[in-house]
Amino acid sequence: MARLSTISRISVAASRSLSSSVRSRPAVSVSRLPNSAAAPSPCLLRLRSFATTMDGGRGNGGDQQLGSELEAIFKEKRILRSKVRKSLRSMDPLQRSQEDDAIQRIVLDAPWFRSSQRLCAYISCSALREVDTSKILSEILQNTARDSQAHSSKKVYVPRVEDKNCHMRMFNISSVGDLIANSMDILEPAPVDAEGNEREEVMHAKEPIDLFLLPGLAFDRSGRRLGRGGGYYDTFLKSYQDLARARNWKLPLLVALSYSVQIMEEGVISVTSDDIPVDAIVSPAGVIHISPAASERMKS
């Protein structure tokens, strides 16, 4: 079972206590997401029910212990997610829009972005208070439309959540017209275009992806990333990294986009061995280079 293998790979040492750092932060006001965005997907509900039954006593002693340790980590993650959601919702709209512009400007001007040829990006959802990617995407797509044969034009792949097994695929798009809103109100591509042609999928692409622009709820300077709890990105990135290694391709740079309030002190974000660390973070203050790959490939 996939979930049991997850448990056996858990790095307990990676888990750190959240309580003191959570307590030390100021309380912020809460307002609810619109229903469409707040409604838990079947995937998230399945994950929650999995987490609450893991130490239910059906497995052997070792599994039970690992199950309760895993549950503790999931609980810490849930607490941090709701705390970050609250601070994102109480962010001043003007500051948010300035940070959106600053982050996108940094990306658009960066040599590591300009030289990338194939990238995966998320379509930001404002109801989720995600760092905006619309300027980045429109610049890529304008260049694609202008001159699809030109060396400077990039191929961009964006996520689509699949119903089964909490997994997502990434499809190539060439225009915003390729996107439709899903049940969570996030724009995503249909696997087939208007002419009935299958879109190219990252996992079937013949050439490697250079760059992933990643969403998330919280990040730290050691590269830890807290997602929205579906495990979609961690699962996808693991599969893509396995594929790239099997093909002897250079691994893509994993770059998270983060508002300033989403950057946590080290030790606040709990992780399991399934959590894939990022190489770098772009915040309004600049790029935080984390991995050796980031230092090599992103510092000009």
Ligand X SMILES: Nc1ncnc2c1ncn2[C@@H]1O[C@H](COP(=O)(O)OP(=O)(O)OP(=O)(O)O)[C@@H](O)[C@H]1O
The correct pick among 67, 189, 215, 252 for binding ligand FFO (CB under 6 A) is 215
**What does the block give as tokens for 206?**
């013949």
For the bound state, the minimum distance from the C-beta of residue 274 to ligand X, rounded and expressed in Å, comes to 3
Q: How far apart are CA 111 and CA 19, in angstroms?
A: 40
188 bridge partner residues = 180
DSSP-assigned states of every residue in 62-109: HHHHHHHHHHHHHHHHHHHHHHHHHHHHTS-HHHHHHHHHHHHHHHHH
Q: Using DSSP, how many helices (H) and how many strands (E) does the chain show?
A: 10, 12
Binder of residue 122, out of ligand FFO, ligand X, none (CB less than 5 to 8 A by kind): ligand FFO
CB 204 within 8 A of CB 139: no
CA-CA-CA-CA torsion for 97, 257, 78, 236, nearest 10 degrees?
A: 140
Query: Does 37 sit near ligand FFO (CB under 6 A)?
Result: yes
**What does the block give as tokens for 196?**
């009935």
Q: How far apart are CA 224 and CA 222, in angstroms?
A: 6
Contact string 253-292 vs ligand X (x = CB under 6 A): -------------------x-xx-----------------
Q: Which of residues 33-52 bind ligand X (CB under 6 A)?
A: 47
Binder of residue 159, out of ligand X, ligand FFO, none (CB less than 5 to 8 A by kind): ligand FFO
Beta carbon nearer to ligand X, 6 or 172: 6
The correct pick among 227, 268, 283, 291 for binding ligand X (CB under 6 A) is 227
Beta carbon nearer to ligand X, 73 or 141: 73
Residue 99 C-alpha from the chain's centroid: 18
For the bound state, the minimum distance from the C-beta of residue 230 to ligand FFO, rounded and expressed in Å, comes to 4
The correct pick among 10, 103, 159, 287 for binding ligand FFO (CB under 6 A) is 159
Using DSSP, state whether 232 is helix, strand or coil: helix
Query: Does 77 sit near ligand X (CB under 6 A)?
Result: yes
For the bound state, the minimum distance from the C-beta of residue 130 to ligand FFO, rounded and expressed in Å, comes to 5
Which value, in Å, is the radius of gyration of the alpha carbons in the chain? 19
First to last CA, the chain: 45
By rule CB under 6 A, what count of residues binds ligand X?
Answer: 18
Binding residues for ligand FFO (CB under 6 A): 33, 37-38, 40, 44, 85, 122-125, 128, 130, 159, 161, 168, 184, 186, 215, 227-228, 230, 232-233
Return residues touching ligand X (CB under 6 A): 2, 6, 47, 77, 226-235, 238, 272, 274-275
